[in-house]
């Protein structure tokens, strides 16, 4: 490695009483891949937003490629020095083509008036070829592309502007395993071209797979910097959370599922087709009290539709939900809530929270008719505040202030707010957990897993929908594999191998399908 491309010295920033970065120092060498590792809320993204000019530091020094930056500078100043940042939530115009998005703001013109579309396409094609043969079609509409392809556009946009330092904020959160492999191959290719890369992440195995060095942050402070060749996942996790992280798994109790009485029987469920989405087709599945049933499958095979049916978002076109002697065909939201179903939604930001409301207000959404707090249509705010304070303590929500606005709370703590609201409802019988740890760090993931296992121990039925096979296999008592809107295999988790699940997910071994009992 050569001299430092980025030098950060004693940088501090506060948001109110919260010290988001506390005298943080960091050097990033030219042509290396540096990982910035830490729990949600550790200050990683904040530090990089200061480097990119989105936030203004209170104190400290930043040097980019030998140039000392003023305390206040804008992203345009950073871009001119070769620093680009790919955000976690992409900033693209869906109705534009790939080329139009990439050259936006730096358009080529004919006669200084007309947009030279062909010149733009040729420049984008050259850029894709020059930097490792990036596979994207310049003339395709962005709205038609996968999240992995959209991420490539953001990267090419930075390369088009001559980036020397590429910052990626949680780049693998929304990607499939195959897209993660493609991204890492691309980053290695860019590094060989001399581009410096900083990855903000909380995923230990990815750090060890791609980075040369890793800097760990915790509670706004830099803990240490490690060379990945000389460290381990255990050492990094201990530095992240201040203690060893243990894995969780279900305990076998020897009972056969044929002897269990289901509390919910999803019988021959069908949903209406919606565009390109995969509808449910004669879908059958049973949920058992005190058991976790995992649903594994490639994204887009009906998992979202299943969750929407159980939470009353999408109506049934056929079939019924049988529970307690009732046959439910009108699965409206109020009906499903009345049956005692709580939901941990796939997207906590879009579906689980109102970001501009406080922790307290998000926790009591849907509780306005709860007899514990309501009398003649009026909420008893003293009881509400005490209830929320108790849940903040029970779920270890940080900051521990009911008045904190959820938009400014870390992802892991946002998820805890959702858990507190959904799992503390009166009459809870079953929980639908959809991608419950997506985007969470190891500490928040362990907390979420422990919470699901606690529900299991309390006799609640849990439906776990996850694209993470390791998570499915570690937590589930039974596993059902979903493909094209149907359950194609179902049996005890201990009877499945990971390879076997993968074959069913991909469409192999169809003749050997185990019928869902």
CA distances from 119 to 5, 136, 292, 440 (A): 32, 17, 56, 42
The Cα–Cα gap between 58 and 203 comes to 30
Q: What is the mean pLDDT of residues 391-418?
A: 91
Contact 2, 30 (CB under 8 A): yes
End-to-end CA distance of the chain: 59
The Cα–Cα gap between 292 and 295 comes to 10
The pLDDT of residue 487 is above 70: yes
Higher pLDDT, residue 227 or 238: 227
| pLDDT grade for 380, boundaries at 50, 70 and 90 | confident
Pairing of strands 318-323, 326-328: antiparallel
Q: What percentage of the chain has pLDDT greater than the value 70?
A: 91
Query: What is residue 329's DSSP assignment?
Result: -
Per-residue model confidence (pLDDT) at position 515:
40
Residue 257 phi/psi, 5-degree rounding, is -70, -20
Higher pLDDT, residue 48 or 134: 48
Contact 427, 370 (CB under 8 A): no
pTM of the predicted model, to two decimals? Answer: 0.64
Q: What is the mean pLDDT of residues 260-287?
A: 89
Distance of CA 372 to the CA centre of its chain: 34
**416: Cβ contacts below 8 Å, ≥ 6 apart:** 395, 396, 397, 444, 447
* Bond from prior residue into 399 cis (ω within 30 degrees of 0): yes
Digit-coded pLDDT (tens) for 70-91: 999 999 999 999 999 998 778 8
Lowest mean pLDDT: which of 80-89, 238-247, 365-374, 442-451? 238-247
Contact 343, 431 (CB under 8 A): yes
For CA atoms 379, 380, 385, 388, the dihedral sign is: negative
The pLDDT of residue 514 is above 50: no
Lowest mean pLDDT: which of 15-24, 137-146, 256-265, 413-422? 256-265
Domains, the chain, ranges and CATH? Answer: 4-241 (3.40.50.300), 250-340+427-517 (3.40.50.300), 356-424 (no CATH)
Per-residue model confidence (pLDDT) at position 516:
38
Q: How many CB atoms are located within 10 Å of the residue 115 CB? A: 13
Query: What is residue 256's DSSP assignment?
Result: -
Question: Which residues in 93-147 belong to E strands, given as ranges?
Answer: 109-110, 114-115
Would you list the DSSP string of 279-309?
Answer: PP-SEEEEE-TT-EEEEE--TTSSHHHHHHH
Q: How many CB atoms are located within 10 Å of the residue 431 CB? A: 26
Q: How many CB atoms are located within 10 Å of the residue 366 CB? A: 12
Residue 86 phi/psi, 5-degree rounding, is -95, 115
Contact 269, 282 (CB under 8 A): yes
The pLDDT of residue 362 is above 50: yes
**207: Cβ contacts below 8 Å, ≥ 6 apart:** 35, 37, 199, 201, 214, 228, 236
Query: How many alpha carbons fall within 13 Å on the CB side of residue 362?
Result: 31
Q: Write out 421-472 in H/E/C secondary structure.
A: HHHCCCCCCEEEEECCCCCCCHHHHHHHHHHHHHHHHCCCEEEEECCCHHHH
Per-residue model confidence (pLDDT) at position 62:
96
Q: What three-state secondary structure class fits 318?
A: strand
- Residues recorded for the chain: 517
Per-residue model confidence (pLDDT) at position 517:
38
Per-residue model confidence (pLDDT) at position 240:
84
Angle between helices 233-241 and 442-457 (to 10 degrees): 90
Distance of CA 100 to the CA centre of its chain: 28
Lowest mean pLDDT: which of 46-60, 466-480, 491-505? 491-505
The Cα–Cα gap between 508 and 502 comes to 9
Per-residue model confidence (pLDDT) at position 177:
65
Per-residue model confidence (pLDDT) at position 512:
44
The pLDDT of residue 375 is above 90: no
The pLDDT of residue 462 is above 90: yes
The pLDDT of residue 479 is above 90: yes
Per-residue model confidence (pLDDT) at position 81:
95
Contact 228, 207 (CB under 8 A): yes
Per-residue model confidence (pLDDT) at position 250:
62
Query: What is residue 250's DSSP assignment?
Result: P
Higher pLDDT, residue 356 or 509: 356
Q: What is the mean pLDDT of residues 93-120?
A: 74
Digit-coded pLDDT (tens) for 2-14: 568 999 999 999 9
Digit-coded pLDDT (tens) for 194-206: 999 999 987 788 8
Closest Cα to residue 225, out of 18, 488, 28, 502? Answer: 28
Per-residue model confidence (pLDDT) at position 497:
86
Per-residue model confidence (pLDDT) at position 108:
55
Digit-coded pLDDT (tens) for 294-349: 999 877 789 989 999 998 888 999 999 999 888 888 888 888 888 899 999 888 88
């Amino acid at each position: 490695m050569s001299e430092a491309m980025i030098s950060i010295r004693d940088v501090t920033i506060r948001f109110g009483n919260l010290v988001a970065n506390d005298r943080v120092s960091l050097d990033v060498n030219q042509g290396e891949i540096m990982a910035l590792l830490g729990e949600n809320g550790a200050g990683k993204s904040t530090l990089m937003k200061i480097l990119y000019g989105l936030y203004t530091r209170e104190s400290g020094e930043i040097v980019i490629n030998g140039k000392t930056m003023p305390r206040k500078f804008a992203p345009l100043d950073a871009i001119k020095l070769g620093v680009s940042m790919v955000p976690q939530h992409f900033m693209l115009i869906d109705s534009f083509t790939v080329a139009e998005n990439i050259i936006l703001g730096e358009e080529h013109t004919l006669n200084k008036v007309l947009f030279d579309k062909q010149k733009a396409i040729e420049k984008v094609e050259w850029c894709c070829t020059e930097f490792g043969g990036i596979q994207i079609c310049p003339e395709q509409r962005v709205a038609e592309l996968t999240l992995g392809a959209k991420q490539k556009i953001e990267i090419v946009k930075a390369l088009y502007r001559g980036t020397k330092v590429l910052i990626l904020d949680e780049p693998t959160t929304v990607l499939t395993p195959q897209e993660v492999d493609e991204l890492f191959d691309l980053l290695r290719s860019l590094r060989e071209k001399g581009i410096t890369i900083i990855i903000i992440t909380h995923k230990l195995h990815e750090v060890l797979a791609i980075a040369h060095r890793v800097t760990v942050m915790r509670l706004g402070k830099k803990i240490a910097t490690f060379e990945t060749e000389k460290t381990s996942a255990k050492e990094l996790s201990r530095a992240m959370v201040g203690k060893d992280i243990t894995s969780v798994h279900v305990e076998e109790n020897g009972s056969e599922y044929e002897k269990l009485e289901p509390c919910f029987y999803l019988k021959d469920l069908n949903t209406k087709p919606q565009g390109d989405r995969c509808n449910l087709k004669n879908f059958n599945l049973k949920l058992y009290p005190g058991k976790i049933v995992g649903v594994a499958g490639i994204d887009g095979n009906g998992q979202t539709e299943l969750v929407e049916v159980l939470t009353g978002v999408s109506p049934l076109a056929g079939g019924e939900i049988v529970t307690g002697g009732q046959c439910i065909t009108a699965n409206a939201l109020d009906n499903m809530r009345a049956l005692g179903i709580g939901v941990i939604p796939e997207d906590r930001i879009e579906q689980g929270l109102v970001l501009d409301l406080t922790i307290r207000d998000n926790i009591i959404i849907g509780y306005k008719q709860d007899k514990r707090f309501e009398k003649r249509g009026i909420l008893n705010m003293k009881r509400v505040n005490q209830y929320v304070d108790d849940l903040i303590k029970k779920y270890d929500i940080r900051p521990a202030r009911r008045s904190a606005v959820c938009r400014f709370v870390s992802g892991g703590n946002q998820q805890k707010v959702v858990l507190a609201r959904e799992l503390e409802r009166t009459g809870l019988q079953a929980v639908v957990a959809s991608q419950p740890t997506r985007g969470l760090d190891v500490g928040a993931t362990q907390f979420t897993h422990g919470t699901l296992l606690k529900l299991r121990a309390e006799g609640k039925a849990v439906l776990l929908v996850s694209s993470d096979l390791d998570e499915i296999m570690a937590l589930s008592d039974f596993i059902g594999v979903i493909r094209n809107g149907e359950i194609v295999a179902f049996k005890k988790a201990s009877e499945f191998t990971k390879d076997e699940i993968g074959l069913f997910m991909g469409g192999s071994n169809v003749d050997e399908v185990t019928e869902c009992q």
